[in-house]
Amino acid sequence: MSPTAVLYVAQALHGLAYGMLLFLIASGLTLIFGMMGILNIAHASFAMLAAYFCFTALKLTGNFWAALLIAPIFAGIVGVLTERFLLRPVHKHGHLAELLITVGIMTLILEIVKLFWGTESLVVKIPESLNGLLHIAGLTYPVYRIFVIGLSIVILGFMALILFKTRLGKIVQAAVSDADMVSALGINTPLVFMLVFGIGIWLAGVAGAVAGPLLTVFPGMADQLGMDAFVVVVVGGFGSLIGAFIVALFLGELNAYGIQFIPRLAPVLMFAFMALVLAFKPTGLFGERE
Amino acid sequence: MSTKLSNWILWGVVIILLAVFPYLVSFYYLNMFIAFAIFSLYAVTLNILLGYMGVLSFGHAMFFGTGAYAVALVLRHIEGFPLLPTILVGGLAGGLLALVLCPLLVRVSGTAFAMLTLAFSMLIFVAALKFREITGGEDGIGITSIPPLNIPGLVSIDMTDKINFYYFAIIVVAICLYLLWFYTKTPFGSLIVGIRDNALRMDYLGFNLPQTKAINLVVSGTFAGIAGAVHGLLMKLVSTVGVLDIGTSFKPLMMAYIGGVGSFFGPIIGSAILHILEDVVIRFTDRIGLVNGTIFILVVLFAPQGLIGLFNTAKAKWFQKETAS
């Protein structure tokens, strides 16, 4: 391949890796919104928390794979507890109160992270087996990013299988379209909510833990990931996984190529695009309801 | 008659206290008090939307920040621009932004409104960060000199003097608060509360809902812009992190919620509490956000009407007991 083509392909892969990470976060966010009507402002904060968990677990165990496994699970547990003890009690006060409590949770997570880990950027070392460079047809590409793309695809495939092929998946899908009706049919929706919230946080946690070595782990991580995930969910349409998927990939590519060609305009374009979509189709590109 | 008299006495005492305040405390507390006043106004403008109209402006910093940036730009590029029009420029900028956005904002409510405002505030934040020739990017724009308050033929008051600036800021905030208080007491203000409680009914009664909401938005945006303008003059620096970022949007939200969104004076009380708290907490620990966040969560969980709501419930219970016994 010519050097220019190599450059383009490398950027495309960068974009794909970031897009997949975004989708891991956004998928949980959009499912939670679809089912419970909560815009979880703190969603990316949980991803950041998982990244810090991963850093500490790596320090304690010395094994990257173990850390990668443990960190999202711990984040998921924190998520389940949050849902049970903070979100559920305010449910009766309406959506605004739920929205506000996630704002409070976001602040708390940020402060707790600063308290325990400080404000510096922490570097998560990746193991030797992932640290190399891959050579394919003249293209040199870091193995770790390929690993990120592969892992995301595997997890998402697994999730899709659960969502579309199991009973739990059917219940979740039904609850996204009408939670009250599902509850009336005798299904314990609070339990399902708790489960979905936990799984959503777990997905975000995987993304955060995996993103740690790419972005380094720092307290501003939640803002960066959260803004982008928010755009993905809004533009893609609330409760729409397909929409989130397409927009996440698009955004990843926009990010990758934008940084190269229009470094100044890329983020502005992203938000302008979101504003336009909201202005003309408030439900998002693929969403059906507000 | 006697309550009217005691009201007059109360206001008199408040005004005298405000007047002698700068001679009693250090500059540090003077600055803190001005910041408290500015954020009170800012939180009240948020509450005009949240408490009165029932929509949550999640990106209220865009009005605040636009006002601040407008003032900084005017002072930088126009030589000898007088002080009072500067404040008005800030208000105008905030109001104009609200006017531009209102065709979109009036169509939605609930979570959608919150998201739309958040989206636009992010757009403006990123734009201010990236177009650094105009806004100075992360460094922001410094306000090198505050123009004197010039009333032609009468006086010219030097505003670089801290005490003079204190009086000026307090008077501006007080006038704005009075105007807003008056605004909520007008029939139009009641109409807005009506929309919050039952929009459909107000629609059937023949009121023009989109227009009413739009006017309320512009009022809120204008006064938030004025608050931003005074804030810019106080800080002498307008930069993205500080007037436009998401933290600036959440701050008045916390104030309004902790004080109580149901009442006009709630956000002012909330602003006072947060400022006093910050001053106290900072002596023991740097983790002011941790304290604020915890209090905010506790309030949302257990006292959705804020401190004013708690106070009212306590009062109701107290008097009930007295009449019962």
Can you give the residue ranges of every domain in chain A?
3-219
More reliable by pLDDT, B135 or B37 = B37
* pLDDT tens string B228-244: 999 999 988 888 888 88
* Residues of chain A with C-beta less than 8 angstroms from the C-beta of B297: 86, 101, 104-105, 108
Rounded Cα–Cα distance for residues A279 and A34 (Å):
21
Using CB atoms, pick whichever of A101, A234, A271 lies closest to residue B126: A271
Say whether B297 and A101 touch across the interface (CB within 8 A).
yes
Alpha carbon separation from A201 to A42, A50, A116 (Å, rounded): 10, 9, 21
Question: Cα separation of A207 and A72, whole Å?
Answer: 8
Contact residues, A window 212-241, toward B, CB-based 8 Å cutoff: 223, 227, 230-231, 234
- Residue B154 pLDDT > 80: no
What total number of domains does chain B contain? 1
A91 contacts A29 by C-beta, under 8 angstroms: no
Residue B223 pLDDT more than 60?
yes
Confidence at residue B116, expressed as pLDDT on a 0 to 100 scale = 85
* Cβ partners under 8 Å of residue B51, min gap 6: B256, B261, B262, B263, B266
Nearest chain A residue to B295, by CA: A104
Q: What is the dihedral of CA A238, A242, A245, A246, to 10 degrees?
A: -100
Q: Which residues of B touch A103 (CB under 8 A)?
A: 250, 253, 296
Record the pTM: 0.88
pLDDT value at position B94?
A: 95
In this complex, do B296 and A104 lie within 8 Å of one another by their Cβ atoms? yes
B99-128: per-residue pLDDT in tens? 999 988 888 888 788 888 988 898 899 888
Helix extents (H) in A37-61: 43-61
Q: Which sign, positive or negative, has the C-alpha torsion A150, A246, A50, A116?
A: positive
Q: What mean pLDDT is predicted for residues B240-261?
A: 88
Out of A115, A271, A278, name the one closest to residue B290 (CB).
A115
pLDDT of residue B322: 64
Residue B297 lies in a domain: yes
Count of Cβ atoms closer than 10 Å to residue B164 Cβ: 16
Nearest to A119 by CA among A216, A218, A217: A218
Which residue in the set A90, A95, A267 is minimally distant from B300, CB to CB? A90
Whether the CB of B246 is below 8 Å from some CB of chain A: the reply is yes
pLDDT at B42: 95
Tell me the per-residue pLDDT of B262-296, one tens digit each, with 9 for 90 and over: 789 999 999 999 999 988 888 887 788 888 889 99
Nearest-Cα residue of chain B relative to residue A273: B123
Cβ pairs bridging A and B (under 8 Å): 102
- Considering chain B, what is the average pLDDT of its residues? 88
Q: Which of B123, B248, B255 best probes binding to A when mutated, by most A CB atoms within 10 angstroms?
A: B123
Residues 171-190 of A with CB under 8 A from B: none
Quick: pLDDT tens for B52-63: 998 888 899 999
Residue B22 lies in a domain: no
Residue B128 located in a structural domain: yes
Hunting for tokens 């690993």 — which residue is that? Answer: A147
The pLDDT, as a whole number, for residue A1 is 64
Nearest to A264 among B104, B130, B294 (CB): B130
Q: Is residue B192 part of a domain?
A: yes
In the block, which residue shows the tokens 């496994």?
A69
Parent domain of B89 = 27-324
Element (H or E) spanning B119, and its range? helix B110-130
Distance set, CA A37 to CA A233, A278, B23 (Å): 13, 18, 53
Burial bucket for residue A269 (CB in 10 Å: 0-12, 13-18, 19+):
middle
Kindly tell me if the per-residue pLDDT of B215 is higher than 90. Answer: yes
Q: What is the mean pLDDT of each run of 10 residues along chain A (290 residues)?
A: 78 88 89 83 93 92 89 94 90 84 91 89 82 75 87 89 88 83 88 90 93 87 86 84 89 83 77 81 69
